[in-house]
């Protein structure tokens, strides 16, 4: 057994230096080369180590609560009036999102490598909470870097991390958001590399992170593929997931990539609309460049400077995207689209009222696109949406947009 | 012969160590940069490292990150950087200039265009911090076509195998990062630098420069004993931030610091 499903299209990717076609790779300063190499070697051996896989499975079952169910959203499907809509319920995981699938995996690697201190970057705070959670679970020191701007927007998650014993360090450089938190975490890592493990939260960064995080998140798609076969007797006609860095999306998509009859949609944060320039949609409106250790699509200006992104959902508010998504865009296997803030918030309300499930604003982007797709499909067709997280954290944002002060 | 090679050959004859200060183009306002570069040469700088601002300088500490932000606030572009070099070259044909920055602005411009424009402006070498030689073949060939020297870092954690690969890909000089961490971090350990410099020299005849953590004349002098070049970055850039409100004071402040380093290095 190994972590990633054997799969003819994707088995060979990335190559041994982390490339997905022209994307990915290892674009880091020489100072980071040794810790990255140490991690790569550790991961290469652990990903096929039966004991490691057993430990991971145990934690995923007993700590995270896997498998997460697939749910047929009948009332929502009826309201949309087309294809049947199914939800992969990653919102029901411990800590309320798919992020924990990955942090459990990386914490186990950290333990194997003898690292007693873990660091993480976070935007909305979901990955920070997931990292602080596993640090508490495994008895490790935890430091989370978070943009000063985001700390103000996400006070509850900051307090959750502190309750879990993590130190939350505000980042005041640059745009004071996720990308700057990532820069700062890298600086911490290069300075404290002897005892520190850097838990990256998405399928971006230098090799082996995009591969490693993908491998930990493909549990979503492996479960969902079997669950759909069990529930409907066939594969879904379409998959939909939101894409910020793209970890929940690649987790769902990857085990279906060879199922050519399954259409796949990745949904980026359209913000105030692509035309407004205020968005977080590098795949839809950006161009290839190099940031945070890998080559991928970026939201940048004509001079190669990274532009501040905009999205109602902090988890999508990132100027880059995982390199494997860049590759899947170019090959045409996955269709990447954007959903605006307003459309996502509307989908948030619809699902909450029709199904009694309050989705994260990130996932609401996927829901909004699924509605558009399903409306033009037949009633016997099936669309599977990754409900990557729950929406409790977003209540203040939604209330504020409705002009309500909580 | 490239200006860098000429410069180091001359210094070797004189038995002196090169002093290489760093400054960020366009920091804190355009117009200051060229003036400070001339002041640097007058104060004893042998080579100038000219920073190209980038929005996400991942390998740099807070001092240089802030310099990037100041330069970008004034919208300093790659064309502006080349203009700085051209203006400097109007009265100085000899002092080598090395651009130091990150890959993305170079990619945005295009490798061939960048290499040609840099060479025409009078640039001699380029250090692209986040481009290891393994990912660099295309850019390296663009550099070699126009005789631009690719400069690479070697870190305390670099393995012997990588050290050899980096030495092979490098021209001009090798830049040894004297401590773990980012630019501007704490003081360096001279004994370990001595050992590493010797190790690097066993793989290359190129001069070995040492940087990261050199803040004052005393450390500069100690490092000068074991290195072919002393690179001073954050300690210089800090003077730009200290005098941001009165940019006229920057050139004299930088000159004072460099003169003290130059004297200490020469009187070793």
Summarize pLDDT for A227-271 with one digit per residue, the tens: 999 999 999 999 999 999 999 999 999 999 999 999 999 999 999
**Is-catalytic flag, A388?**
yes
Same domain for A106 and A226, yes or no, is no
Give how many domains chain A has, as a whole number.
Answer: 2
pLDDT at B166 over 60: yes
Q: Residue A1 has what pLDDT?
A: 42
Residue A113 lies in a domain: yes
Complex-level ipTM: 0.94
Residue A14 lies in a domain: no
Residue A227 lies in a domain: yes
Q: Do B177 and A302 touch (CB under 8 A)?
A: no
In chain A, what residues touch B82 (CB-CB under 8 Å)? none
Same domain for A142 and A275, yes or no, is no
> Residue A390 contacts by C-beta under 8 Å, 6 or more apart in sequence?
A91, A92, A96, A97, A358, A359, A360
- Among A163, A197, A213, residue at a domain's last position: A213
- Among A213, A239, A261, residue at a domain's last position: A213
Nearest CA in chain A to B163: A30
pTM attached to this predicted model: 0.95
Q: Residue A179 has what pLDDT?
A: 87
| % of chain B residues with pLDDT over 70 | 97
Summarize pLDDT for B183-213 with one digit per residue, the tens: 665 667 788 899 999 999 999 999 999 998 8
Q: Do B134 and A17 touch (CB under 8 A)?
A: yes
One of B60, B69, B189, B218 is an active-site residue; which one? B60
> Residue B152 contacts by C-beta under 8 Å, 6 or more apart in sequence?
A30, B127, B132, B133, B166, B169, B170, B174, B175
Q: Residue A356 has what pLDDT?
A: 98
Same domain for A125 and A185, yes or no, is yes
For residue A155, which phi and psi values (nearest 5 degrees)?
A: -60, -35
Same domain for A234 and A348, yes or no, is yes
Nearest CA in chain A to B129: A29
Q: Do A29 and B72 touch (CB under 8 A)?
A: no
Q: Residue A8 has what pLDDT?
A: 44
Scanning A99-118 for CB atoms below 8 A from B yields none
pLDDT at A397 over 60: yes
pLDDT band at residue B1 using 50, 70 and 90 as cut-offs:
low
3-state secondary structure chain B: CCHHHHHHHHHHHHCCCEEEEEEECCCCCCCHHHHHHHHHHHCCCCCEEEECCCCCCCCCCHHHHHHHHHHHHCCCCHHHHHHHHHHHHCCCCCCCEEEEECHHHHHHHCHHHHHHHHHHHCCCEEEECCCCHHHCHHHHHHHHHCCCEECCEECCCCCHHHHHHHHHHCCCCEEEECCCCCCCCCCCCHHHHHHHHHHHHCCCCCCEEEECCCCCHHHHHHHHCCCCEEEECHHHHHHHHHCCCCHHHHHHHHHHHHHHHHHHHHCC
DSSP, collapsed to helix, strand or coil, labels residue A63 as helix
Tell which wins on pLDDT, A388 or A7: A388
Alpha helices for A15-98 (secondary structure H): 30-46, 50-59, 74-80
CB-CB contact of B100 with B69 (8 Å): no
CA A24 and chain centroid, separation: 17
User: 3-state SS of chain A: helix, strand, coil percent to 5?
Assistant: 50, 20, 35
Summarize pLDDT for B72-115 with one digit per residue, the tens: 999 999 999 999 999 999 999 999 999 999 999 999 999 999 99
Same domain for A28 and A161, yes or no, is yes
Q: Residue A152 has what pLDDT?
A: 83
For residue B171, which phi and psi values (nearest 5 degrees)?
A: -130, 165
Same domain for A88 and A103, yes or no, is no
**Is-catalytic flag, A121?**
yes
Which of B104, B129, B158 minimises the CB distance to A304? B104
Q: Which domain holds residue A164?
A: 20-62+99-213
Q: Do B55 and A305 touch (CB under 8 A)?
A: yes
Instruction: Residue A386: name the closest of A253, A232, A203 by CA.
Output: A253
Q: Residue A103 has what pLDDT?
A: 98
pLDDT band at residue B148 using 50, 70 and 90 as cut-offs:
very high
Q: What angle do CA B174, B179, B180 make, to 5 degrees?
A: 115
CB-CB contact of B153 with A32 (8 Å): no
Same domain for A161 and A227, yes or no, is no
Same domain for A291 and A356, yes or no, is yes
Q: What is the mean pLDDT of chain A?
A: 95
Same domain for A86 and A117, yes or no, is no
Structure tokens at A389: 């997280």
pLDDT at B5 over 50: yes
Kindly report the CATH number assigned to the domain that includes residue A300.
3.40.50.1100
In chain B, what residues touch A187 (CB-CB under 8 Å)? 58-59, 61, 181-182
pLDDT at A10 over 60: no
Instruction: Residue A291: name the closest of A185, A181, A205 by CA.
Output: A205
Rounded (10°) angle between helices A30-46 and A99-112 = 100
Same domain for A352 and A234, yes or no, is yes
Which helix (DSSP H) or strand (DSSP E) does residue A387 occupy? strand A382-387
Residue A2 lies in a domain: no
Which of A304, A309, A318, A320 to mutate to probe the B interface, most B CBs <10 Å? A304
Same domain for A134 and A147, yes or no, is yes
Summarize pLDDT for A39-61 with one digit per residue, the tens: 999 999 999 999 999 999 999 99
pLDDT at A11 over 80: no
Q: Residue A4 has what pLDDT?
A: 54
Mean pLDDT value across residues A65-88? 98
Sorted by where each starts, the structural domains of chain B and their CATH numbers stand as 3-266 (3.20.20.70)
Residue A1 lies in a domain: no
- Among A213, A233, A267, residue at a domain's last position: A213
Same domain for A242 and A376, yes or no, is yes
Residue A177 lies in a domain: yes
């Amino acid at each position: 057994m190994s972590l990633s499903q054997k799969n003819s299209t994707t088995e060979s990717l990335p190559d041994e230096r982390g490339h997905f076609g022209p994307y990915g790779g290892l674009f880091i300063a020489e100072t980071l080369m040794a810790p990255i190499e140490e991690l790569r070697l550790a991961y290469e051996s652990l990903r096929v180590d039966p004991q490691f896989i057993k430990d991971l499975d145990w934690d995923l079952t007993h700590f995270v609560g896997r498998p997460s169910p697939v749910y047929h959203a009948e009332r929502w499907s009826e309201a949309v009036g087309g294809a049947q809509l199914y939800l992969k319920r990653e919102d029901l995981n411990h800590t309320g999102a798919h992020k924990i699938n990955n942090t459990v995996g990386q914490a186990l690697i950290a333990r194997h490598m003898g690292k007693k201190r873990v660091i993480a970057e976070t935007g909305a705070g979901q990955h920070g909470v997931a990292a602080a959670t596993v640090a508490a679970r495994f008895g490790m020191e935890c430091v989370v870097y978070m943009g000063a701007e985001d700390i103000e927007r996400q006070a509850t998650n900051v307090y959750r991390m502190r309750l879990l014993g993590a130190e939350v360090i505000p980042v005041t450089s640059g745009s004071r958001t996720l990308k700057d938190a990532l820069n700062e975490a890298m600086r911490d890592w290069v300075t404290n590399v002897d005892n520190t493990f850097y838990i990256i939260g998405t399928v971006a960064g230098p090799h082996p992170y995009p591969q490693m995080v993908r491998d930990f998140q493909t549990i979503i798609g492996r479960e969902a593929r079997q669950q759909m076969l069990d529930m409907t007797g066939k594969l879904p006609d379409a998959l939909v997931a939101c894409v910020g860095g793209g970890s929940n999306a690649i987790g769902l998509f990857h085990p279906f990539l060879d199922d050519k009859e399954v259409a796949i949609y990745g949904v980026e944060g359209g913000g105030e609309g692509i035309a407004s320039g205020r968005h977080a949609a590098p795949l839809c409106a950006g161009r290839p460049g190099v940031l945070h250790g890998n080559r991928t699509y970026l939201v940048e200006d004509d001079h190669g400077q990274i532009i501040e992104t905009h999205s109602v959902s902090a988890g999508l508010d990132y100027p880059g995207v995982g390199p494997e998504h860049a590759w899947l865009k170019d090959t045409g296997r996955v269709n990447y689209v954007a959903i605006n803030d307003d459309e996502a918030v509307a989908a948030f309300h619809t699902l909450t009222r029709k199904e009694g499930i309050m989705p994260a604003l990130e996932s609401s982007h996927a829901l909004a696109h699924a509605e558009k797709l399903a409306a033009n499909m037949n009633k016997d067709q099936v669309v599977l949406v990754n409900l990557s997280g729950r929406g409790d954290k977003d209540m203040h944002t939604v209330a504020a947009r409705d002009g309500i002060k909580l | 012969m490239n200006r860098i090679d000429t410069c180091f050959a001359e210094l070797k004859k004189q038995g002196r160590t090169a002093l290489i200060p760093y400054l960020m183009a366009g920091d804190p306002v355009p117009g200051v940069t060229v003036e400070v570069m001339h002041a640097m040469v007058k104060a004893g700088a042998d080579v100038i490292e000219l920073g190209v601002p980038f929005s996400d300088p991942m390998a740099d500490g807070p001092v240089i990150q802030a310099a990037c932000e100041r330069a970008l606030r004034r919208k300093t572009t790659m064309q502006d950087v080349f203009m700085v070099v051209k203006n400097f070259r109007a009265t100085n044909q000899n002092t080598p200039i090395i651009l130091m920055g990150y890959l993305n602005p170079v990619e945005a411009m295009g490798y061939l265009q960048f290499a040609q424009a840099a060479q025409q402006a009078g640039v001699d070498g380029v250090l692209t911090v986040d481009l290891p030689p393994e990912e660099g073949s295309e850019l390296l060939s663009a550099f070699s076509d126009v005789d631009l020297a690719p400069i690479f870092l070697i870190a305390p954690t670099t393995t012997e195998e990588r050290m050899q690969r980096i030495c092979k890909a490098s021209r001009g000089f090798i830049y040894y990062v004297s401590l773990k961490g980012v630019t501007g971090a704490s003081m360096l350990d001279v004994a370990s630098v001595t050992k590493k410099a010797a190790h690097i020299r066993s793989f290359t005849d190129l001069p070995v420069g040492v940087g990261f953590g050199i803040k004052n004349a005393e450390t500069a002098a100690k490092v000068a004993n074991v290195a072919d070049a002393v690179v001073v970055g954050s300690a210089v850039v800090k003077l730009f931030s200290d005098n941001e409100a009165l940019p006229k004071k920057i050139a004299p402040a930088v000159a004072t610091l460099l003169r003290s380093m130059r004297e200490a290095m020469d009187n070793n």
